[in-house]
């Protein structure tokens, strides 16, 4: 499938990145996300377990980044194995832009699914993916709103992660984008699985 | 004629157990100590297996064993084989890549078998199967029939360059080209014969038991041909010697071809039950059936007809690409070759036919015979082309058929494509069908439909099919690895009732009734005193099974021949008992009579004498039990004309079949009710292909129609009440005068339906399945 969308998030770009940089906020936004870890330079692993109707499956994702252009865009490649549920592979080009007080997040996703995901869900994917993406961003928005109230804490979390980096700004952006992209991919994959 | 003999619509005796829920299917059978098998299947269409980690699965609760292709290969089991050889245009045999029952280093389609998990319960086996970690390195997949042999395509098998299994030209190309060059007109059509999943109601299943005391394996299988399974598993797959292998096909819930073949699961279950020394059962779920049953059809073809100024067919040429899937199934190569191109004459006296078939491998499930097997593909192509010819020549579709029919006095008729038709009267069937369908009143009906906003169309299909494949010598010449005779044993018990053992297998056809009627008719034994036994290699002598509409035309004759032997032997016994000369004994209606006297003796009394030979003719063996084999001299050639009438709603593209007439030549009917049921079922099968069914793989080779959510089967409301009648001729080579009837509907119906739709909307062609979307688009294009 191919999916292309933009989402406007009612927060400044910096604040969106901060939120996206918060592992707890990300976990909260992705249903069933068990872990999200760095496994190498530009490589990450994630585990998501979910029960959709009668199907319970755990996906193991390997996520790799390429074409890094901090703080504008990058391409993310993900490979997910879902055991009996099949597999999901995809890549997404993700970018962030300021839009007044808001931040516009754009993504173009190209994904393919196999096994049960393709056999039982194929034709409903597009509609369901859009619906889940909406859910993801609304949850993320709530997380940002909560963060706003606890801004000092959020800043504290940011500091240790960026303090040791020679180019704190771009590293932060990269890390943020990595997670954002991963979530988008995972969200889209989950959607396949929903149907 | 006996009351329940030939020609009587006796109610099916097997229905008592089916309607009472007393049928006994493979999955109904449970044995002590039984384990359950679940197959780990590839989610990839094409991938290298870089490793299989079965440790966690092996340690999971209840797991008895996790076995892979390496285990299978180490035991020297397999690979699966293809039993028919086609010679490619380079003079070499078709390319037959190794077909391991469990993958060895590579998977070639979604659903391909990677490992088997055997556990105490099905749930445990399923849970453990999820723990088998397979490390795949995906490769590009080949999913398109048309492009599979194209340049730059990913190679699937080393042994098959350009993914070509065979290129098979047939016919005199030069003479054909010459005829085309001099033709008044050339009509042509390009079409796709849509891939189908055969979908018998009962999914495939296997139960294997190993007796370490006798070293015998017993396999209960969903099979249409237990002896063929045993032969292949023993002789080619090294499962066990033939005498140590018993194959039982108990009640089987439909086959339609899909249960002919020897499948990976069957071989693996047979092997695994010995390996773990426990009974092993496997039953497919519906999605497994979609993924791993052999599929049917899947051709892309172009056909041309050269015509003279009177609309007479001068020559026909066909180019076909046939998809065989990832591996060769048991009879895969035969379907798009001998069962296809040899049918291109159809009912017509076309003097020259040239065909080229390119059979290709793709990363899809294997493709093999499915109800009709090659003949529906041939008939659809030909009958669609004939309608295009009619339109190009400005002739009525009935008229162009009539002008080109093989005349009834031309039989036996040697076609230019091997087949020699033994009997037929095609015009009689056409006339009768046109009368029944009220062809003359069509214009008025179409006008009335137009007032309601509907487009009404009428379509013809005049098919001929070749079933009851024979004789064995010809099968051998064509590269077939088996003989296609049939056998029977007819055994009187001392108390006068009869057990009939047939090598055919009934999985919905009603043999237990039809064959009992036949024996009732031949021997004059009451219908209720006859039991037909089939499906168990330990009970029946031998047999080739049921497919290709062969059971009555071949197996029925074997039964009749065994009856003849009994009657002849009985004459000796009766002559002795009645103190008459054997030559004076006549047999009729179950009684031996001394000619010209009132001395008579029932065959049951003769049977008793044979088993209690206290006063018995010298030199005659005791017992009343005879075997017979029948190897026909020729195929059986059922034929007929089907006429379909549809109404299309141009605003939605919805097609309603408002009338359907079938006039078939099946020779003599033994049980007209059962025959009519076969005709109904076959037509509905054909309507399914024409309107609803389509098996789709996406560009990555993912099967996207793997359940009934996405694959539409025909239902009762897709069909009208059928008008069914017959125009029989007598096939001279068949001692019973019968022809096959099981596939005719599925062969005749698709072109009748599509011709009707094309006629309704004024389009040259509409692809199958003619879904509302397809038809609506065609309506838009035609406007």
SS3 annotation, B51-114: EEECHHHHCCCCEEEEEEHHHHHHCCCCCCCCCECCECCCCCECCCCCCCCCCCCEECCCCCEE
Task: Average the pLDDT over B65-70 and give the result.
Answer: 98
Q: Specify the pLDDT at position A165.
A: 39
In whole angstroms, give the CA distance from residue A185 to residue B10: 63
CATH 3.30.365.10 in chain B is located at: 31-396, 405-413+424-465+637-783, 485-630
Task: Average the pLDDT over B622-628 and give the result.
Answer: 97
Q: Specify the pLDDT at position A71.
A: 66
Q: Which chain B residue shows the shortest CA-CA distance from A118?
A: B704
In whole angstroms, give the CA distance from residue B14 to residue B535: 14
Task: Average the pLDDT over B334-357 and give the result.
Answer: 97
Of A2-6, B51-55, B353-357, B404-408, least confident by mean pLDDT is: A2-6
Instruction: Please tell me which of the candidates B126, B700, B710 has its beta carbon nearest to residue A123.
Output: B710
Q: Which residue has the higher pLDDT, A19 or B457?
A: B457
| CATH level 2 (architecture), domain B485-630 | 2-Layer Sandwich (3.30)
How many interchain CB pairs under 8 A, A with B?
48
Token pair belonging to B700? 């990555």
Q: Specify the pLDDT at position A163.
A: 36
Q: Which residue has the higher pLDDT, A140 or B54?
A: B54
Is the pLDDT reported for residue A186 higher than 80? Answer: no
CA-based nearest residue to B449, from B749, B752, B687, B656: B656
Is the pLDDT reported for residue A143 higher than 90? Answer: no
Please state, rounded to an integer, the average pLDDT across all residues of chain A.
67
Which band of pLDDT confidence, cut at 50, 70 and 90, is reported for residue A153?
very low
Task: Average the pLDDT over B178-190 and give the result.
Answer: 97
CB A83 within 8 A of CB B130: yes
Task: Average the pLDDT over B190-208 and give the result.
Answer: 97
Q: Specify the pLDDT at position A181.
A: 55
Q: What angle do CA B284, B285, B286 make, to 5 degrees?
A: 115
Chain B interface disruption, residue of A54, A84, A121, most B CBs within 10 A:
A84
Q: How many CB atoms lie within 10 A of CB A104?
A: 16
Task: Average the pLDDT over A105-132 and give the result.
Answer: 72
Which band of pLDDT confidence, cut at 50, 70 and 90, is reported for residue A134?
low
CB A180 within 8 A of CB A21: no
Asked if B287 has any chain A CB less than 8 Å from its own CB, the reply is yes
Which band of pLDDT confidence, cut at 50, 70 and 90, is reported for residue B481?
confident
Is the pLDDT reported for residue A173 higher than 80? Answer: no
B594 vs B573, B582, B585, B612, CA distance in Å?
12, 9, 5, 22
Is the pLDDT reported for residue A180 higher than 70? Answer: no
Task: Average the pLDDT over B181-201 and give the result.
Answer: 97
Residues of A with CB under 8 A from a CB of B: 83-84, 86-87, 89, 112-116, 118-120, 122-123
Q: Are residues A119 and B702, on separate chains, in Cβ contact within 8 Å?
A: yes
In whole angstroms, give the CA distance from residue B227 to residue B361: 29
Q: Are residues A119 and B704, on separate chains, in Cβ contact within 8 Å?
A: yes
Task: Report the DSSP pairing between strands B196-197 and B295-296.
Answer: antiparallel
Asked if B45 has any chain A CB less than 8 Å from its own CB, the reply is yes
Of A105-119, B152-166, B170-184, B297-311, least confident by mean pLDDT is: A105-119
Of A80-94, B316-330, B609-623, least confident by mean pLDDT is: A80-94
Task: Average the pLDDT over B524-531 and give the result.
Answer: 96
Q: Specify the pLDDT at position B56.
A: 97
Return the residue matching tokens 């010697």: B241
Q: Are residues B704 and A116, on separate chains, in Cβ contact within 8 Å?
A: no
Residues 6+ apart with CB under 8 A from A83: A57, A58, B130, B131
| CATH level 2 (architecture), domain B31-396 | 2-Layer Sandwich (3.30)
Q: Is the peptide bond before A189 cis (omega within 30 degrees of 0)?
A: no
Helix axis angle for A151-163 and A168-194, nearest 10°, is 110
Q: How many CA atoms lie within 13 A of B302 on its CB side?
A: 5
Q: At B776, is the secondary structure helix, strand, or coil?
A: helix
Q: Which residue has the higher pLDDT, B646 or A178?
A: B646
Which chain B residues are closer than 8 Å to A119 by Cβ? Answer: 110, 287, 290-291, 702-704, 706-707
Which chain B residues are closer than 8 Å to A86 by Cβ? Answer: 43
In whole angstroms, give the CA distance from residue A119 to residue A96: 34
Q: At B412, is the secondary structure helix, strand, or coil?
A: coil
In whole angstroms, give the CA distance from residue B52 to residue B45: 17
CA-based nearest residue to B72, from B82, B80, B60: B80
Is the pLDDT reported for residue A62 higher than 90? Answer: no
Of A162-171, B123-132, B198-207, B508-517, least confident by mean pLDDT is: A162-171
pTM of the predicted structure, to 2 decimals: 0.91
Q: Specify the pLDDT at position B534.
A: 96
Return the residue matching tokens 């006549």: B586
In whole angstroms, give the CA distance from residue B438 to residue B432: 10
Of B61-70, B471-480, B589-598, least confident by mean pLDDT is: B471-480
Which band of pLDDT confidence, cut at 50, 70 and 90, is reported for residue A105?
confident
Which band of pLDDT confidence, cut at 50, 70 and 90, is reported for residue B107?
very high
Of A71-75, B265-269, B372-376, B562-566, least confident by mean pLDDT is: A71-75
Is the pLDDT reported for residue B8 higher than 90? Answer: yes
Q: Which chain B residue shows the shortest CA-CA distance from A57?
A: B130
Residues for chain A: how many in total? 195
Token pair belonging to A132? 């889940």
- Give B12's DSSP letter: P
In whole angstroms, give the CA distance from residue A16 to residue A106: 13
In whole angstroms, give the CA distance from residue B534 to residue B247: 11
Which band of pLDDT confidence, cut at 50, 70 and 90, is reported for residue A38?
confident
Q: Are residues B704 and A83, on separate chains, in Cβ contact within 8 Å?
A: no
How many helices and strands (H and E) does chain A possess? 6, 7
Q: Which residue has the higher pLDDT, A50 or B220?
A: B220
CA distance A56 to chain B (A): 11
CB B97 within 8 A of CB B361: yes
Which band of pLDDT confidence, cut at 50, 70 and 90, is reported for residue A166?
very low
CATH topology of domain B405-413+424-465+637-783: Aldehyde Oxidoreductase; domain 4 (3.30.365)
Q: Are residues B710 and A115, on separate chains, in Cβ contact within 8 Å?
A: no
Q: Are residues A113 and B703, on separate chains, in Cβ contact within 8 Å?
A: no
Instruction: Please tell me which of the candidates A83, A89, A114 has its beta carbon nearest to residue B110.
Output: A114
CA distance B75 to chain A (A): 28
Q: Are residues A87 and B45, on separate chains, in Cβ contact within 8 Å?
A: no
Q: Which chain B residue shows the shortest CA-CA distance from A59?
A: B130
Residues for chain B: how many in total? 783
Helix (H) or strand (E) run with residue A187 in it:
helix A168-194
pLDDT, tens digit, for every residue of B200-255?
999 999 999 999 999 999 999 999 999 999 999 999 999 999 999 999 999 999 99
Task: Average the pLDDT over B100-123 and give the result.
Answer: 97
Instruction: Please tell me which of the candidates B110, B126, B709 has its beta carbon nearest to residue A115.
Output: B110
Task: Report the DSSP pairing between strands B654-665 and B722-726.
Answer: parallel
Which band of pLDDT confidence, cut at 50, 70 and 90, is reported for residue A31?
low
Q: At A106, is the secondary structure helix, strand, or coil?
A: strand
């Amino acid at each position: 499938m191919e999916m292309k969308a933009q989402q406007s998030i009612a927060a400044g770009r910096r604040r969106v990145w901060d939120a996206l940089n918060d592992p707890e906020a990300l976990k909260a936004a992705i249903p069933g996300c068990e872990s999200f870890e760095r496994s190498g330079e530009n490589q990450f692993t994630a585990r998501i377990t979910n029960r959709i109707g009668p199907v319970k499956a755990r996906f193991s994702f390997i996520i790799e980044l390429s074409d890094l252009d901090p703080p504008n865009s990058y391409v993310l490649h993900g490979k997910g194995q879902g055991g009996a549920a099949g597999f999901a592979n995809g890549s997404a080009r993700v970018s962030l832009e300021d839009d007044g007080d808001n931040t516009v997040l754009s993504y173009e996703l190209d994904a393919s699914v196999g096994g049960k995901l393709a056999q039982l869900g194929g034709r409903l994917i597009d509609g369901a993916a859009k619906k889940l993406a909406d859910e993801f961003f609304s949850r993320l928005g709530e997380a940002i709103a909560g963060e706003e109230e606890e801004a000092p804490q959020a800043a504290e979390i940011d500091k240790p992660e960026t303090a040791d980096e020679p180019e704190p700004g771009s590293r932060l952006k990269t890390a943020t984008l990595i997670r954002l992209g991963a979530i988008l991919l995972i969200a889209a994959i989950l959607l396949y699985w929903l149907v | 004629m006996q009351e329940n003999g030939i020609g009587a619509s006796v109610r099916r005796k097997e229905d008592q157990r089916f309607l009472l829920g007393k049928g006994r299917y493979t999955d109904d059978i449970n044995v002590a100590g039984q384990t359950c098998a679940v197959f780990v299947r590839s989610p990839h269409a094409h991938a290298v297996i870089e490793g299989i980690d079965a440790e966690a699965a092996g340690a999971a609760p209840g797991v008895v064993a996790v076995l892979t292709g390496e285990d299978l290969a180490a035991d020297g089991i397999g690979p699966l084989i293809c039993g028919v050889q086609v010679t490619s245009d380079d003079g070499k045999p078709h390319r037959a890549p190794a077909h391991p029952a469990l993958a060895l280093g590579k998977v070639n389609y979604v659903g391909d078998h990677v490992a088997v998990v055997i556990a105490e319960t099905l749930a445990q086996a399923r849970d453990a199967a999820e723990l088998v970690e397979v490390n795949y390195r995906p490769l590009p997949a080949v999913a398109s029939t048309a492009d599979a042999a194209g340049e730059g395509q990913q190679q699937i098998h080393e042994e098959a360059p350009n993914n070509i299994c065979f290129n098979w030209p047939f016919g005199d190309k030069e003479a054909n080209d010459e005829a085309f060059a001099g033709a008044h007109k050339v009509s042509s059509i390009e079409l796709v014969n849509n891939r189908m999943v055969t979908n018998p109601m009962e999914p495939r299943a296997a139960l294997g038991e190993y007796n370490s005391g006798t070293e015998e394996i017993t396999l209960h299988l969903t099979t249409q041909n237990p002896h063929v399974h045993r032969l292949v598993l023993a002789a080619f797959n090294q499962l066990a010697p033939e005498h140590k292998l018993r194959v039982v096909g108990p009640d089987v819930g439909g086959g339609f071809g899909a249960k002919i073949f020897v499948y990976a699961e069957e071989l693996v279950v047979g092997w695994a039950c010995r390996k773990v020394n426990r009974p092993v059962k496997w039953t497919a779920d519906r999605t497994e059936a979609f993924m791993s049953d052999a599929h049917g059809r899947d051709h892309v073809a172009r056909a041309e007809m050269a015509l003279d100024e009177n609309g007479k067919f001068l020559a026909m040429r066909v180019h076909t690409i046939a998809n065989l899937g990832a591996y060769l199934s048991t009879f895969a190569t035969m379907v798009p070759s001998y069962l296809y191109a040899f049918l291109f004459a159809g009912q017509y006296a076309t003097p020259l036919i040239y065909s080229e078939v390119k059979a290709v491998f793709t990363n899809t499930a294997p493709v093999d015979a499915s109800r009709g097997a090659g003949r529906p593909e041939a008939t659809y192509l030909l009958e669609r082309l004939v309608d295009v010819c009619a339109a190009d020549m400005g002739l009525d579709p009935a008229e162009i058929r009539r002008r080109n029919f093989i005349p009834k006095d031309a039989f036996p008729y040697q076609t230019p494509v091997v087949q020699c038709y033994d009997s037929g009267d095609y015009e009689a069937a056409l006339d009768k069908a046109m009368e029944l369908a009220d062809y003359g009143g069509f214009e008025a009906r179409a006008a009335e439909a137009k007032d309601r906003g509907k487009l009404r169309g009428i379509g013809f299909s005049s098919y001929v099919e070749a079933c009851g494949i024979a004789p064995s010598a010809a099968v051998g010449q064509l590269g077939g690895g088996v003989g296609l005779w049939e056998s029977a044993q007819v055994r009187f018990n001392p108390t006068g009732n009869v057990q009939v053992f047939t090598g055919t297998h009934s999985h919905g056809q009603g043999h237990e009734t039809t064959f009992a009627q036949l024996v009732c008719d031949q021997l004059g034994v009451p219908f209720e005193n006859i039991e037909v036994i089939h499906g168990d290699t330990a009970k029946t002598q031998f047999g080739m099974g049921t497919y290709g509409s062969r059971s009555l035309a071949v197996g029925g004759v074997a039964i009749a021949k065994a009856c003849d032997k009994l009657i002849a032997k009985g004459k000796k016994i009766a002559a002795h008992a009645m103190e008459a000369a054997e030559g004076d004994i006549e047999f009729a209606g179950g009684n031996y009579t001394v000619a010209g006297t009132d001395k008579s003796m029932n065959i049951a009394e003769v049977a008793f004498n044979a088993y209690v030979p206290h006063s018995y003719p010298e030199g005659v063996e005791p017992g009343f039990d005879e075997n017979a084999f029948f190897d026909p001299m020729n195929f059986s050639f059922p034929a007929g004309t089907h006429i379909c009438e549809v109404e299309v709603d141009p605003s939605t593209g919805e097609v309603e079949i408002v009338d359907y007439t079938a006039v078939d030549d099946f020779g003599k009917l033994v049980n007209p009710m059962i025959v009519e049921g076969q005709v109904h079922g076959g037509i509905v099968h054909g309507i399914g292909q024409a309107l609803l069914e389509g098996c789709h793989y996406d560009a990555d080779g993912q099967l996207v129609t793997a359940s009934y959510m996405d694959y539409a089967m025909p239902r009762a409301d897709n069909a009208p009440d059928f008008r069914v009648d017959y125009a029989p001729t007598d096939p001279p080579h068949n001692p019973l005068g019968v022809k096959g009837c099981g596939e005719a509907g599925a062969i005749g119906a698709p072109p009748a339906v599509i011709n009707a739709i094309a006629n309704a909307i004024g389009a040259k062609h509409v692809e199958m399945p003619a879904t509302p979307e397809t038809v609506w688009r065609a309506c838009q294009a035609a406007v």
